[in-house]
């Protein structure tokens, strides 16, 4: 069984194409699911001349 890793987008509200806020139920937008990995605190670490992203592991 494959495991999936989804990043948490932080979206908290849902919006129609014209920008108006709409109910999230059934919208299919990120806020309706609220799944994923929460952002770590702190998100970034600075080590010498490198910046490490603690969410993605990228340097």
Cα–Cα distance, 40 to 53 (Å, whole number): 9
What confidence score (pLDDT) does residue 5 get? 58
* 9-49 pLDDT tens trace: 778 899 999 999 999 888 888 888 777 677 889 999 999 99
Buried b / exposed e over 5-19, threshold 16 CB at 10 Å, is eeeeeeeeebeeeee
Q: Per-residue pLDDT for 52 more than 80?
A: yes
What confidence score (pLDDT) does residue 1 get? 47
């Amino acid at each position: 069984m494959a495991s999936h890793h989804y990043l948490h987008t932080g979206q908290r509200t849902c919006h129609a194409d014209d920008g108006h806020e709409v109910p999230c139920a059934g919208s299919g937008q990120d806020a309706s699911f609220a799944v994923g990995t929460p952002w770590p605190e702190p998100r970034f670490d600075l080590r010498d001349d490198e910046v490490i992203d603690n969410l993605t592991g990228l340097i």
